[in-house]
Amino acid sequence: MGEPAIFVTGAAAGIGRATALLFAARGYHVGAYDLDEPGLERLAAEITAAGGSARTGVLDVTDAAQWRARLAEFHSATGRLDILVNNAGVLRAGAFESIDQAAYDRIVAVNLGGVIAGTRAAFEYLRDTPGAQVVNLCSASAVYGQAELAGYGATKAAVRNLTEALDLEWHRHDIRVLAIWPLFVATGMLAGVRTASTRSLGVRLTADEVAEGIWRATRRRGPLPRVHYSIGAQAKVLAAAGKYAPNQLVRAVNRIITRAR
């Protein structure tokens, strides 16, 4: 069937771009999709110059018809869909009541609605590709709700639930669904974001480190593969605390991190 194929959303910059470059360098045919067409052109040129292969297209992840069209085009060219990476996302930070309703509607539409629409549209291609995988970008900020990130964290917590449900439901189709959990990553999404938690914890991860984490996670196969993959020491500590520590302790730690009174 030829080289394996990966479809990445939000690929023009940040984690999506780093993931596209890494997988192209390691033998994947990359489908890179975003609203930023010039950014996609630069990405494709870099992949091609390095000897890789890529296909790009403009995609608004909130538009189910666009999802169907882009996936059909990609599958027509590749004949397979080994990995779907739901990376596209938007973030607004600040006091909950200070963010307008339109911004919240957009956060939910992109971060949750986009994942649902894309994963649903991709099902038939994933089902027909042996060992296919879906990678959903979550966030360690959603392990326990964080002040100033309420709307964003809520969508990522919902994506976690969706990931777990589909990993169970689609096991019979040989489709693995997993979640990647970084904390704060030095990308354009965090440009200008100054919350108590970013000041307390810092922005310590790079997009390349997250891309490498995605690569490692998608290599993990077997009878009982993990669903959740925390990226970076801070995210691993938060995930462990959320899983094993008493709820009141986790809440107290988050109050300290976010300086919530």
Query: Which residues have a catalytic role annotated?
Result: 152
Angle at 38 between CA 35 and CA 39, to 5 degrees: 75
Strand partners, 32: 8, 56
In whole angstroms, give the CA distance from residue 94 to residue 129.
42
Would you state the torsion angle of the CA atoms of residues 190, 150, 20, 214, taken in this order, to the nearest 10 degrees? 120
Structural tokens at position 142: 């959603």
DSSP for residue 48: H
Question: Which helix (H) or strand (E) covers residue 39, if one does?
Answer: helix 37-49
Alpha-carbon gap, residue 209 to 214, rounded angstroms: 9
Q: Which two tokens stand for residue 155?
A: 């969508």
